[in-house]
Structure 1
Amino acid sequence: MKIPKRIQPLVDDGLVDEVIRQLMSGKEASVYVVRCGNDIRCAKVYKEADKRSFKQAVQYREGRKVRNSRRARAMEKGSKFGREQQEQVWQSAEVDALYTLAAAGVRVPQPYGCFDGVLLMELVTDDEGLVAPRLNDVSMSAEQAREDHAVVMEYVKRMLCAGLIHGDLSEFNVLVDEYGPVIIDLPQAVDAAANNNAQWMLARDVNNMTSYYAQYAPELLDSQYAKEIWALFEAGELHPDVELTGQFEESTEVADVDSVLEEIKAVFAEEQDRRERLREAEELG
Structure 2
Amino acid sequence: MSQDFTQDPELAELFARHHEQHPSREPFDGSRLDDIDPSFVVDFRAYDDVDESSQRWSTWLSVEPLSRGPEPRPDWLVTSQGAIDTDLGILKTGKEADVFLLERCDPAEPDKAVVMAAKRYRSTEHRTFHRAASYTEGRSTKRSRDERALKRKSTWGKTVAAGEWAVSEWDALKRLWTLGLPVPYPVQIDGTEILMEWVTVDGETAPRLAQTRPGPELLASYYDQLRDALALMVQDGIVHGDLSPYNILAAGERLVIIDLPQIVDLVGNVNGMDFLLRDCTNVCSWFRARGLRVDEHELFGDLMAHAF
TM-score (norm 2): 0.66
Residue 29 (structure 1) aligned with residue 104 (structure 2): no
Residue 178 (structure 1) aligned with residue 252 (structure 2): yes
**Which residue does 1:14 correspond to in 2?**
58
Give the partner amino acid of 2:193: V
Q: Distance in 2 between matches of 1:163 and 1:222?
A: 19
Question: Shift of residue 133 of structure 1?
Answer: 0.8
Q: Distance in 1 between matches of 2:236 and 2:141?
A: 19
**Which residue does 2:120 correspond to in 1?**
45
- Over the residues paired in the alignment, what is the CA RMSD in angstroms? 2.5
**Which residue does 1:215 correspond to in 2?**
289
Q: Which has the larger share of helix?
A: 1
Give the partner amino acid of 1:19: D
Q: Distance in 1 between matches of 2:153 and 2:94?
A: 26
**Contact map agreement 1:75 1:86 (CA 8 A) in 2:** yes
**Contact map agreement 1:101 1:162 (CA 8 A) in 2:** no
**Which residue does 1:54 correspond to in 2?**
129
- Secondary structure of 1:12's aligned partner: strand
Deviations 1:208-262 (A, max 9, x none): 11111122233113761112212542xx2xxxxxxxxxxxxxxxxxxxxxxxxxx
Q: Distance in 1 between matches of 2:172 and 2:141?
A: 15
After TM superposition, the structure 1 = structure 2 runs for residues 57-76 of structure 1, keeping only pairs within 5 Å, are 57-68=132-143, 71-72=146-147, 75=150
- Secondary structure of 2:188's aligned partner: strand
Question: Shift of residue 79 of structure 1?
Answer: 5.7
1:72–1:13 Cα change, 3 Å: farther
Give the partner amino acid of 2:287: Y
**Contact map agreement 2:126 2:159 (CA 8 A) in 1:** no
Q: Mean alpha-carbon deviation: is it higher for 154-163 or for 202-211?
A: 154-163
Question: Shift of residue 205 of structure 1?
Answer: 0.7
TM-score (norm 1): 0.71
Residue 86 (structure 1) aligned with residue 154 (structure 2): no
Residue 194 (structure 1) aligned with residue 268 (structure 2): yes
1:146–1:84 Cα change, 3 Å: same
**Contact map agreement 1:64 1:191 (CA 8 A) in 2:** no
**Contact map agreement 2:186 2:194 (CA 8 A) in 1:** yes
- Secondary structure of 1:172's aligned partner: helix
Question: Shift of residue 206 of structure 1?
Answer: 1.3
Q: Distance in 1 between matches of 2:211 and 2:128?
A: 23
- Secondary structure of 2:91's aligned partner: strand
Give the partner amino acid of 2:195: L
Deviations 1:112-150 (A, max 9, x none): 122221111110011x12111111111111222121111
1:182–1:164 Cα change, 3 Å: same
- Secondary structure of 2:204's aligned partner: coil
- Secondary structure of 2:233's aligned partner: helix
- Secondary structure of 1:86's aligned partner: helix
- The aligned length equals 226
Q: Distance in 2 between matches of 1:33 and 1:224?
A: 39
**Which residue does 1:132 correspond to in 2?**
206
- Provide structure 1 residue ranges, at least 5 long, that are not aligned to the other structure: 1-7, 237-285
Instruction: Find 1:203's aligned residue among 267, 277, 285.
Output: 277
**Which residue does 1:102 correspond to in 2?**
177
- Secondary structure of 2:196's aligned partner: strand
Q: Distance in 1 between matches of 2:124 and 2:305?
A: 36
**Which residue does 2:74 correspond to in 1?**
none
Quick one: percent identity of the two aligned structures?
Answer: 31
**Contact map agreement 1:41 1:122 (CA 8 A) in 2:** yes
Q: Distance in 1 between matches of 2:148 and 2:91?
A: 37
**Contact map agreement 1:33 1:43 (CA 8 A) in 2:** yes
1:207–1:222 Cα change, 3 Å: closer
**Which residue does 1:5 correspond to in 2?**
none
1:51–1:70 Cα change, 3 Å: closer
1:65–1:222 Cα change, 3 Å: closer
Question: Shift of residue 34 of structure 1?
Answer: 1.1
Q: Mean alpha-carbon deviation: is it higher for 114-123 or for 79-88?
A: 79-88
1:79–1:21 Cα change, 3 Å: closer
Give the partner amino acid of 1:200: D
- Provide structure 2 residue ranges, at least 5 long, that are not aligned to the other structure: 1-51, 60-83, 106-112
Which protein has greater RCO, CA pairs closer than 8 Å, 6+ apart? 1
Question: Shift of residue 162 of structure 1?
Answer: 2.2
After TM superposition, the structure 1 = structure 2 runs for residues 237-256 of structure 1, keeping only pairs within 5 Å, are none
